Every structure is written in C-alpha cells, then in structure tokens.
Structure 1
Amino acid sequence: MPDQNNSLYAAAQRVVEAGLANDDSAFTPGRPVWTQTTADDLCQRFVNAPELGGSSFAEKLGRQLADAPPETIQLAAELVYLHLLAPNDFGGVAKRELLSTVLAISPQPIHVPSDLDAALDGGFGRAGTAYRTYRDRQLAWLVRFVVAWKELSSEARQNALADPWAFRDVADSIPVNSAYSQRNVLLHLAFPGTFERIASRRHKQQIIEGLAEDVPQPTGDEDRDLAALRAELERQRGDHIDFYDSDLERRWRPRSGAAGDSESELRGWLVRGANVHGRNLVPEWLAEGYCSLAYPDLGELPSGRTRSQIDTQLAEMQPDLTSKQRSIHVGVLDRFLNQMHDGDIIATVDGAKVYVGTIAGAATWTETPEHLDSRRRPVRWANADTPFTRDQLTAPTKDRLSGQMVVSTLGAEVAEFAALAGIDPDIDPTEDTPEPPANEPVVLPEPTAELANDLFVDLEWLSETVDLLREKKQIILYGPPGTGKTYLAQEIAQFLTEQTGGEHRLVQFHPSYSYEDFFEGFRPQRGSTPGTVAFELEDGPLKLLVNEANKDVTRAYVLIIDEINRANLAKVFGELYFLLEYRSRSVQLQYSPTEDFRLPPNLYLIGTMNTADRSIALVDSAMRRRFSWQGLFPGEAPVADILRRWLHAHGLPADRADLLDALNDRVADRDAAIGPSYLMNSRVGTEAGLARIWKHHIMPLLEERHIGDNVDLLALYSIDALRNGTTPHIRPRENPVLDEEIGEPPT
C-alpha cells in the first residue's frame, strides 16, 4: 500500500471488505446493505430509470430514491462515498455536503464513522473532466459492478478479491459507458499495489506513449504495460517511482507543470471564422480540417516570433493602428501562432451551431486568394457532422462565446466543450451526449457552535452572515468603531477558507487607493539599461486572488476589504461593478483588453465600513445593491452581549459591560456609539486600568463628537457620572445630521 493517504486506502479497504467480501455495510457494520436484492433495486431505480434535465446530480438522485427502502438509499450513499474518496481536487467540505445530501434521503439517520469521514479530506489525484461532469454515469457504473459482483459464485468472488487481475476481469465485464475514470479509481482503491493512482484513461495512454522506450515488452494492455513500466523504472532507479514526479511527468507530458496544476489539464481556444471580411470560412474549415486567422495585409508571420517582433511588423504594415489597437492584435496573433499546442481544444461557432476539435499541428502559411485563410492550423474536428448548439451550454460556458475577440481562451469551461463533443478519452464518444449537468459551486460550510463561542456571538447571527455571503457572495459589515467588524471579518474568512482549503487576504482602502492598486496597473521597474525605468503590468490583490481561485473552484477564496468606504469606489472598482452583480459574465479589462475576465464563483468579498463619520451616505445605490449588509451596533445583537460574554470568559468584573451600556444610552446615537472592543482588554480588571482606557481611548472619541457643543464631557461621560446616574443638561446641536438624510443600507 502506498505510504501517502494511508487513511484513504484503509477506508477503501473497509468498504471493499464490508461490501464485496460480505453483504455488510461500511457505515453501519452488522447491517446487510450490500446484498444482491438491494443492488438490483438500486439498479432498477437509478440505472434503468435515468432522469434527464438540468437538475444537479443530488436533486435527481433524491427524486429517484424518494420512496426507496432505507437499505437501497444507504447502498447508494456508500457508493457515492467510494466515488468521492479519490479526487484531491474536490475539497472535503464539498464531499461531505454531497454525501450528506444523499444520506438525508433516508428516513433513518445514518452517520459516517469518524475515521471514514476523515478520509474524505484526502484523495490520490485529480479525477478528471468526466469524473465530475458525469457523476451520474460514474455511479451507474459502480451500481452495475455491484450487481455483477453479487451474481458471481462465492468462489469466484473470493478468487477476484485475492487476484487483482481477476478483479479487473470483473470490472471489465461491465460496459464502461463514459466511466473509464471510475473504473480506474476502483481498481486502484481495491489494489493500490497493482493498479496506478491514475483516474484518467488519457494519462495512462500518454504515460505509455511518452515512456515507451522503457516498456520491456508492450502488450497493448494499458494496466499490464504500466505495471511492467513501473517495475522497470524502479529497477533502474532503485527506488519507488511516481509517474507524476516532475522529472517523469516532463517526459510523458512535456507542457505540464506540477502534478495537479490546472495548466496541465485541457486547454482550449475559441477561433472565429463565420464572418471573416464578410465571408464564412467555417464550412471550409470543417471540410478540410483546419482553422485560420486572416490579417491579409500582414503577410506571412512565422511561429516563434516574440510579441515585440509581431508588434514591429504590425506597426510597419498597418501604421494607422494606435498602440492600444496593436496590443490587441498582437495578443490575437501570439495566441494563434505561439500559445496553441497540439492536443489543445478548439471551438468555433456558426450561428447557433458549435463545432469542437483538437489542434493537430503547428501554424503554417498557405497561399490563398486574398489571404483570408492563409494563416492556418490543422484541426481534427470531432463533431463536424453533429454540432451541438449554444443552448446546450451552461450559462458561464455560453458566455465564452459572447465576446468579440477573434482568438480567445476557453478557460475552465474548456471541459464542457470537450465533453459535449466527446473528445475526452475518458468519455465514450459512442454514447448519446446528455444535457450538461447543473453547476456544483463551492459549498460554504455552516459555522459551528465552537466558532460562535470563540467569537462571543450567537450562532444564529453567524449562520445568517455566512448564508448572506453564500447567497450574494459579497457582504459588508458596517457599524461604529470598536464593534469588531474587521476582527469578525477575518475570523469568518479564516474559518471558511480553512474548512474548504482555500485562502483569504486583507486589503485596506484609503482615499488615494486606485483601480491600479486594487486590480491591475503599470508599475515602475528597474529598466534593463542602468539608470532607466520601465513600466510593467502587475496584478493587484484582487486579480492575484482571482488567479488562485480559478485553479480550484471547489475551495473558497475570501478577500477582506477593510474600510471599504474610505476609497472612491467607482474609481477603484471600475468595470468590476458589472461583475459583482453578474458573476457568470465576462468583461474586457482596462489594461488587458485581450483578456476576457470574470469573477469566479468561489471568490467572496467581505467589506467593513465605519458609520461614525456618516460616510456610508457616500456609497452609491449601485454599490449598495451589489452587497448584502450586516449591521454591528452596540445594544443590538450580536454586539450587545459580546463584552459581557468576554468578561465572563476571562473572569473579569461584569459591571464593565453595564458601564458601556450606560455610556451608549447617553450617546443616544446608533452610528456614534462606542463598541465593546475598547474594553476587551485585561486591564479593565482593575479600576486604574479601566480609568486609563476610559481617559485615553474612549473620551477622545466623545470629545471629537461634541466639538462646539459646549458640553461638560466629564459631567456627562465620566465613569463616576455614569455610575451615579447623573445627567446634566445638553445644549442641542445646530444643524444636526438626521438619520433620514443618511439613509439606511439595505439588510
């Protein structure tokens, strides 16, 4: 058994031992769940009665098993568990959420043993496109496997559990039906010492082809050839090898980065050809197997030219172009000539029809009339005769087709194009292509009672806050100073990202903060020539976090914007205003006009805003509409009890909370009240410490508020005055700022 992920393999063996060696259950030992009768019932309800449509996998399964016996539901849940063990690109929180949804179908409560639950945090590799896009097919294959297994004689089952190749024969007796990945996962989990930790059939083929010289005697059997290849490489090296080790991976997948790098998977491009100088070239592309890029006046431009060289030739041949226009065209040419590689996915559209293929060679130049299609790349079109339509795409993927760029990236949505065209070898192209499944966004975990206690707030308020963030993806915590806005934002962000394996970062806005600081802009760098300065485009904190979030949409990434109202929001956010409301859409950026940019669904924003200076009134309605708002005010939940709970937890006098309540009663202004954090200091345990904090931290705030009011602050706000209950007369302010003038942000 491999050294890594021991708990994962131990969990898998528990399932195999309970369900395949016996008719038992991994979740509830002693209860017969993996029986022939139950497997047949699950097959009849789920496999033989598929439900089509755009609902999620869990929603469909819930309807299919709505009136099923508890044992059938539990068998489905244990198979889903087995399915979820493998991927490490699908976070533990998301795995548990899906598994819990399946378990909830049962009228009887079912609990996953703690050691099996812990194994969900692991995984042995990226499962691939088909594994997640066609989860129903993966599970259907597992159900068929269990049905076939239970039909075997007791002797045949014992033999298959003892002999990995006999076990594989049983697996291969089941029609694969787009479940190559699940087949490979089951083999590895059952016999990790024999079958590789490789889910993708494509990777198995690439490894054998890339390392063919080291395969002793090729048989054409992928699994046996991989086993022989491993034995030979370990003999040569004298140590255990992993095909995803960087030195080996470079040999079979030269363009890959580290294992699991998003760039090592499918890459795709949209190339437009339906209207090239008024001519539709797509029928010719499909018939002759290529795609092309025009620029008829530019002439031949060999691959390998740098962006600077392309720019120079453009400037010579088309002098009327501005530098910004040239930058856009340079990006298009560079992508077509240099960034596309063999095997990349390519898509094009002709009206409502979408055609998909794979790049099959380098860019070439062919003399043609008018040079409209002289600059070419060979393409193996996969669905030239059977195009799908735009309406079959999910909203984010359809949006990839809506831009105007002649050549643009398909981004993470490339997987859907490949799947619909049947290109991925892990998907059986002879199968009818189903409707694309509904998206499975990152699942934000529910806050725990432990977290609420640590933060001294009510669990109900904390759950509501996370739910608002889950719903809108942007939230602002607003209130007067000292109410814990920044602290709570950081703690909530840390909890969400730790639970999902993501990241959180904090930026603080101020009056001079700009779009260039926040998103992207040109910044001075030391030039190549001594004494010179060059300007390079650099990403700001938002774009840096977006780049991280795009690598794994199953993890949560949170950006905290402290004092969000201190900056000119319209200036800082720019075109991002649009994206805050329309997450599935893309825009072209101010400094990167060749890039289609969108905010990923797993990126969340938490802003904090101080209301004491009334600057909330400066937030325009467009920004207010794009955020959920959660108030933090003394005297109101959850702030009302924070100090009292904190004092109790630290064994400090409770009357400090009474003193703060009395102070805020006299302030009598919700937006100018004093927050509890000023007194959440161990020094308040003594009268001297309390007096010091009152004099140097709280009284200055009150002095600022009453400038020009001719008020005796000590007589009104001193500790003694509050304790004695004396209330001197206060002369009313002139021209008070009414709450009605400020307005209340929507909650």
Structure 2
Amino acid sequence: MVDEDVAKTNLKSAYMRWMEPILNALKELGGKASPAEVRDRIAGNLHLTQEELTAVRGKTKVNRFSNEVAFARNILVFGGYIDGGEHGVWKLTDTGANVHMTNELASHLIRERNKHDRDRRKMAPANALGDSGAPEQRYWSYRPGSRAEKWQECQDDSVMLIGWGKIGDISRYDKRSEIQQELRDSYEMDGIPRNAARMLWQFANEMKPGDVVVAIKGTRTILGIGEVQSDYEHYESADDFNNARQVSWMTVDDADSTLRSAKQFHNKTLNDITSNLDMVRQIDELLNDDAEEGDDASVVEEIPLDPYSREDFLDEAYVGEHTYDNLVAALDRKKNIILMGAPGVGKTFMAKRLAYSIMGVKDPSRVTMVQFHQNYSYEDFMLGYRPKDTGFELKYGVFYEFCKKAEEDEDRPYYFIIDEINRGNLNKIFGELFMLIENDKRDLKLQLPYADELFSIPSNVFIIGMMNTADRSLAMIDYALRRRFAFVELEPGFDTDGFKRYEQSLGSDRFGRLISAVKTLNRKISEDDSLGKGFRIGHSYFCGLTPQTADERTLSGIVEYELIPLLEEYWFDEPQTVADEAERLREAIR
C-alpha cells in the first residue's frame, strides 16, 4: 500500500507539472482546441516518450498522462483560466491568456480546489437520524448513452454526460415539476416524464463532488468507476448531451466487469444505488484493489471531520451531565449497553451522537445502525446461505462485515447500534455471539457454523441497543443477554439545561404552558399502578420547532394526533380519564 501522504504529494506535483504546459499549448493553438490537440501539443513540446504517453496506473489501467492532464485542466477551469462552458473544447479565458503560471500559483489553486470540494461534500442532506453534520458519500449507476455510445467521449474528456439538452440549463429550474413541464413542452410528450425529471434534478442538485459513479452497460456490466470532481455544468451545444460533470474515471478489467450481485443495475440513465449494500461492497472492492496497487487517481483529499464533544451532545440530546457520564462509563466497562426509556425520550436520536461524542468527531464510517424485528435472523446478522441464479451462495451479514472493518482499524472505536433490540428473537439472531460479545471474551475466536473460519468480535467494537419500555407486546429480555449488557434508563429531558435553552429560544408562552401540562401528566402516569414511569411522554414530541412554527396550529396537531391517541392507548378502559387529560392539554395551548 502506498503511503497516503506520499501519494497525495506525488499527485499534487503531477497536476502542478501539467498546468503551465496546458496554458502554453492553448496559446500556441490560438487559445482554443480540442483535448486531443492539447495533449498532442504538450507531448510535442515536452518531447514525451511513447512510454510516458502510454503509461498506466493501478489495476484499472487508467492512462496516467491523459488522466493527469484532464485533472490539471479541471483545476484551471476552477481558477478561471480556462472556460468550462463549452463541452469538447478547451478555451483560454482572458485571464488564462495572460497569466504566468508558477509552482506557487499552481499549488494555491490545488489547495483552493480541495477546500471547495471538502466544503461541498460536507453539505450533505439530513439522514434518518437528522445527522446533517456528517458527510455522506453517495453511489450512482450511470449509462453513458442507451448503448454506452458516449463512454469513449466520457473517458477522453473526464466527464459524465446527460441528455435532454433541449430544456437548457437545469440549474435554472427551482422545482422538479418545472423540469417535467419543460420536458413535455420541448419534446412534445403526452405523458408526465417523472423519471426523466427526477434524474435531471438529481444530476444537477443532489450529486456532489466526492460521490462515486459507476458507468454501466446493460444490467450487469461495469465499464468504469469514477469520482465526481465538479458541480453541475451546462454546455451551449447542438449535441443533446450538453449536461455534464467532471469525473475522474478508472476503467475496469474485463475479469472484474461483471456484477456478481443477484440484483441487477436498473434500466435508468442515472440511479442512486447507495442503499444497495451488495453493489456498493463490490464497487468498493474494485476501488480498494486498485488502491493496493498504488493508484492515486483521485485529486480530492480525505474529508476533515467535524468535531463533536460532550458539550455538543448535552446541548442536542437533552440529558443531564450525570446521565451522560454514566452512559460513557457503562459503555467503557461493559462494551455493550441498552438505552431504555419512554416513547419520545430520544433514544434513537442520541445513540449515534453518543458514539460521536466519545469519538470526538462526526465519523459515520465507524457507526452502523440496524433495527431488529420478528423475522430478523442470524443469517441477516452474521452469515448464511442465500438463493442466487445458479443455487445458493454464502452471504455475510451486516455485523460480520462491521467487525471485519473494525478489525482493520484496531486503534479507533467502532459503534454498532441496534434499534428495537428486544423485538427480535435474540437467541436466534446472536447464536454463538452470546459469549463473544462479553467484554472479557473479545478477540476470542470461535468456529462459525456456516464457514470454515474462526471469528472474533474485536475489542474496539461497542454495541448500543435500544428498547421502548412502554411497548406492551415485548417479551422479556433473555437473562443470558441481560447479563452481558448494562441497562441505562433515560428520562424525559424537559428539565435539562439543553431543553430549557431550546424552550427559551422559541419565545412562546403557549409552548411553555404545554410543556408544564405534559410534566404534570407524566407525574400522573408515573403514579398509575398499571403504567409507571416507563410510559411517560418524552421530549422529542416537541423538538424541531422554530419561533415561527411553535404556534397554536402546530402545537394543536401534536396534542390531537400524537399525544391524545397515546393516552387513549394507555387508558383504553378509562375514557373519562382520557377526556380529562386531553382537555388539560388543549387548554394549555389556547
């Protein structure tokens, strides 16, 4: 494996090497030329040998000269020295025609480009846990033309191209519905082109630098793998394929070009495949195999991770300092904890953030979350045989893969989160892991039942389970599992400093009265012999509001459609109690 810092240094030097020759070649060619003409002129000016012109790197055998020149051109476009508005043509700007490119200026451009890409990649949409601060890399399948007829052009110019050019610059549309209407008008369609509009919207607005793109042909053949290097670009051209993004392409050997997954690529020009873990795993294998042979094709540096501290957790998760310290101490001692609590105390919300606060950074690559249910099995969790076209194959489960990943990074902690842990058949799911998850049994190897290998759970893997104490349908936790976990009960966080600051920020007397009414209601629930404190109403029902949304209409919706149905379930045989408590909640927000 090539040392990471050395690879980045070599790559930076390579791109700096080509910037001045590109500008000189374009000046000699009248300020405007095709990529091939520029490369030919550089080769002639620098007297490059055939060996230098045909050299490749890594398992994917990308042409080193063409690849480095294309990346250098992208950086010059970013710096404003080359006009990026015309596809298939490299054209000097007025600034580029007069600049004297030095190593210092080239180095500065690369640093600024990398910073720009890092900032773009950090602007990820919120995931299911509201974790908007963590970078998220997405994977896309891409068809370079219906029969891959654009693939050679994409390789030559280090781009990916999308059609539907008659509608013009996609970035000028504010809504997907506007793209739909323009497609209907421009292409005289009778139906509603929802799929095409969605694909164009994703290409212009959702794809981002750092995403991985898999160029495909048919339903299983992989032509190449690339990393997105630019924002959306529109070219004024007669060619219908005038929507583009700059991409670092790596070709794939014939032996690795066929998808091994039982699933197939969808018949779409562009498709988000991030959630298809089997496809993503195979793509990562190709990329990792290539990296092991020293491929340094990517210009984008590792994304700096946002820091996340104990104070950040306390401010967001609405638990007391003493509770937080107990959580951390229990996890350190047992390596396995279960967060228990009433509905709405924020168990799911805080689990990932607890991991981040201990790590000190928001690193989603070291955190995985699953949810147990009645049909969840050992085969899903660890490994087992699954049907495929020609019979059955051994497939590894999410926990097995997670442990193998953590094993290769033993100096850093990894966190495996299990939501609704007591909804699954735990004896069936855990199997021999009952023993291996114990703190003093970590790194102990046992023979797996389906595979001829020994397996252990690394000592740097921590398990965080969650269970809802108000769920009447739940069976008791198995005593063998209970002994291996520390159980921490979470309280509604209305009296924490974080929630009080949140309440004050809303500036709503109506909200304050509702919270007081809920706290009174919680005391009644706790004192009820048929319920108890495990059925109290948590604070998360009231989170996510702003001074503008904390109005009577929003709060009334929470009361009528979330709280009162819960009370009707709690006191299903006491309708008068439900009516009385419901009226108190309604009165609080009037």
TM-score range normalised by the length of the shorter chain = 0.3 to 0.5
Instruction: Select the structure of larger CA radius of gyration.
Output: 1
Structure with bigger RCO (C-alpha 8 Å, 6+ apart): 2
Please identify which structure carries the higher strand content: 2
**TM-score of the pair, normalised by structure 2:** 0.45
